[in-house]
């Protein structure tokens, strides 16, 4: 299967019409659109480390969640870090595609995967915003108990939580979820699970009767890499896939 064919197949699963207007994703860099895909590296971010790993381990394709190119590129120069990555990828002959907000919203994408990881039941889309998911925890529990489940299941080294309600109905949005507080409240949820939520938003949300659970941007989105790998295996079992941990943020 060629890179162009794989992109077309994945775009059927993660349709372009689900992409937010402000977003930029899709084919990021392609020295050869019709190169056969034999080894695909799946990652959240296209970092320098990811590119070098792909080269050393003979990956011909990189598939990321976060777009390699977000703003227009007007030139190619090694003096700019994004442009330098593009130069490397072209020199190495590695194709790159990214699926961002459409992967957040798509069935089986970022937020469905996150719901599964934290053991939610009766999961449904937010009828007003296709990115958000709503689900029930299998039994009512304290916020501290639920936060421990989130931390353990996502292998997150830290979880911040605020609020004073027990947990039963949960609104889920991976990554940066500060803009979804009103949707969580409007849909009758007692808790919002996300990666990051600003300090002021979290403080205000508690006064509005909503718990906030922040498990880290990376940790709430990274599980989708395995979901993408599974989708590719269904599309073409002959393609070797590997999920790569691109997190370079340390903690102490």
* DSSP notation for 147-175: HHHHHHHHT-S--EEE-SS-EEEEEE--S
State the sign of the Cα–Cα–Cα–Cα dihedral 112, 115, 121, 123.
negative
Q: Which residues pair with residue 223 across a beta bridge? A: none
Domain ranges of the chain: 3-102, 107-221
Structure tokens at 26: 């899709």
Would 3-102 and 107-221 be classified into the same CATH topology?
A: yes
Asked: is 3-102 a CATH 3.40.1390.30 domain? The reply is yes
Q: The domain at 107-221 falls in which architecture?
A: 3-Layer(aba) Sandwich (3.40)
In this predicted structure, what is the pLDDT of residue 39? Answer: 98
Answer for the pair 201, 179: CB distance below 8 angstroms, yes or no.
no
In this predicted structure, what is the pLDDT of residue 252? Answer: 80
Answer for the pair 129, 180: CB distance below 8 angstroms, yes or no.
yes
The pTM of the whole model exceeds 0.85: yes
In this predicted structure, what is the pLDDT of residue 77? Answer: 93
pLDDT tens for 39-53 read: 999 999 999 999 999
**How far is Cα 226 from Cα 14, in angstroms, rounded to an integer?**
15
Structure tokens at 190: 């007692």
DSSP letter at 113 equals H
Structure tokens at 103: 């992967």
In this predicted structure, what is the pLDDT of residue 251? Answer: 83
Answer for the pair 201, 176: CB distance below 8 angstroms, yes or no.
no
Residue 64, C-beta contacts closer than 8 angstroms, at least 6 positions apart: 28, 42, 43, 44, 45, 46, 50, 96, 97, 98, 99, 246
Q: With a cut of 70, which residues of the chain have pLDDT below it?
A: none
Sort strands 26-29 and 39-43 into parallel, antiparallel or unpaired: unpaired
pLDDT tens for 106-128 read: 999 999 999 999 999 999 999 99
Residue 5, C-beta contacts closer than 8 angstroms, at least 6 positions apart: none
């Amino acid at each position: 299967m060629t890179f162009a064919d794989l992109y077309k197949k994945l775009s059927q699963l993660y349709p372009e019409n689900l992409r937010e207007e402000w977003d930029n994703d899709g084919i990021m860099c392609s020295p050869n659109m019709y190169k056969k895909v034999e080894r695909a590296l799946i990652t959240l971010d296209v970092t320098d480390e990811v590119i070098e790993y792909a080269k050393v381990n003979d990956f011909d394709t990189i598939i990321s969640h976060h777009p390699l190119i977000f703003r227009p590129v007007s030139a190619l120069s090694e003096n700019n870090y994004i442009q330098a990555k593009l130069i490397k990828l072209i020199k190495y002959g590695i194709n790159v595609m990214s699926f961002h907000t459409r992967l957040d919203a798509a069935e089986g994408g970022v937020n469905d995967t996150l719901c599964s990881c934290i053991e939610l039941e009766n999961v449904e889309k937010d009828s007003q915003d296709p990115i958000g998911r709503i689900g029930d925890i299998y039994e009512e529990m304290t916020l501290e108990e639920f936060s421990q489940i989130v931390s353990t299941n996502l292998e997150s080294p830290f979880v911040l939580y605020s609020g004073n309600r027990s947990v039963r109905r949960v609104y889920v949005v991976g990554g940066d979820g500060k803009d979804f507080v009103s949707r969580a409240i409007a849909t009758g949820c007692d808790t919002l699970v996300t990666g990051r939520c600003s300090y002021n938003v979290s403080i205000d949300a508690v006064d509005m009767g909503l718990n906030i659970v922040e498990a880290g941007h990376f940790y709430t989105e990274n599980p989708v890499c395995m979901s993408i790998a599974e989708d590719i295996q269904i599309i073409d079992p002959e393609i070797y896939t590997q999920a790569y941990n691109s997190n370079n943020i340390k903690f102490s």
